Structure 1
């Protein structure tokens, strides 16, 4: 397990600032992306798969209770609580995963993501992932979408002691890139992710989905409906140089 340490070995405050600030502002040197719900709608197929299996067995699906857990790694509940204690939960999971995978196979990268990655490459910015999901989930999806090679570093659930909303995953990426928080912009779709990014002192853009629109995203520095609604040039003009 890799644990983020701050500051990284050899880090110097004076050295970090030299050539990185202009007129009191930090230069933006990196973009850090969440994954689920931000780059790919994995939450929709997940919710639909649970609802479908409940319907197949004639069991009501408690959507409001389920939605409390979307984007909240710290929220634990039993998604099969409405079933009989004697229900075969292993088989229920097999059925659910089959439904989920059918839905995921139809999903494409969300609007604006590729354009933002293209702009980052043109500017020579470092690009990373900070996700509460595991490598075995995030990386195969990015490979399927043809985007895996766009990212220089992946910080996933198993890489840090504490998941979001703690800042560990973001600090891990910053350490790898040799940057301070204000030199990077984070993109998040949930309250948990926004809190993590702000605790790591990153500029944060909140882009909620229909599943997270009810979250408290007020701590974010900017909220937009889609990544396609904002350009990298506009973000750099707003947050840095």
Structure 2
């Protein structure tokens, strides 16, 4: 019986991924490296670093560290100035909180995460949040979701993961947890298997009701 929901963050609860790409693209351009969206997509598929191109063109570790720092600041600028809200998410979470315990499991850095939610209410019903600093191995490793199971003190069959990306779905699968894939146009090119798929988070309550009926809940 599913009693707990584990949510990915970027691309599921907020629309931030395009701005991380844009900040990275601009940072690489400062090093003389052109990165297209097709390049970025391939990096996501391969799990490769976006900075490899800079290294091959002679950028030093210090150059890359400086560009990363600039990228991080630029990304925070976008988080504060761009519309990253996804319609209906707050209402969906409020509804689901009446039935399920919920948490966020994200690869976001905590400083970015806290900036995003400084003036938002999406976390009001979350039991806890696990950010990148809270575990050693990032997605697609199982550790982030294993940590969430341990924090809740539940079995894996009591949870379901809501993700949008192949790496996130792979992490949940590695942890032995059922998955729901939410469509996200920015990463729609990624082919990823999941137990369930929905076009938007707004469809999640109905999906979970159907699962509950099939479980005899």
Is this a same-fold pair by TM over 0.5?
yes
- For residues 174 and 59 of structure 2, what CA distance do their matches in structure 1 show? 41
Q: Where does structure 2 lack aligned partners over 5 or more consecutive residues?
A: none
Aligned to 2:12: 38
1:188 to 163, 171, 187: 163
SS of 2:137 mapped into structure 1: coil
Q: Normalising by the residue count of structure 1, what TM-score does the alignment of the two structures yield?
A: 0.73
Root-mean-square deviation (CA, aligned residues, Å) is 2.8
1:206 to 161, 170, 181: 181
Q: Larger C-alpha radius of gyration, 1 or 2?
A: 1
Are the counterparts in 1 of residues 90 and 121 from structure 2 also a CA contact under 8 Å? no
SS of 2:162 mapped into structure 1: strand
- For residues 204 and 59 of structure 2, what CA distance do their matches in structure 1 show? 51
Q: Where does structure 1 lack aligned partners over 5 or more consecutive residues?
A: 1-25
State the structure with bigger RCO (CA 8 A, min sep 6), 1 or 2.
1
Question: C-alpha deviations, 1:118-138, integer Å up to 9, x for none?
Answer: 112222x21111112233332
- For residues 158 and 100 of structure 1, what CA distance do their matches in structure 2 show? 18
Aligned to 1:107: 83
Are the counterparts in 2 of residues 139 and 148 from structure 1 also a CA contact under 8 Å? no
- For residues 173 and 209 of structure 2, what CA distance do their matches in structure 1 show? 17
Residue 236 in structure 1 maps to residue 209 in structure 2: yes
Q: Normalising by the residue count of structure 2, what TM-score does the alignment of the two structures yield?
A: 0.80
- For residues 193 and 179 of structure 1, what CA distance do their matches in structure 2 show? 20
SS of 1:132 mapped into structure 2: coil
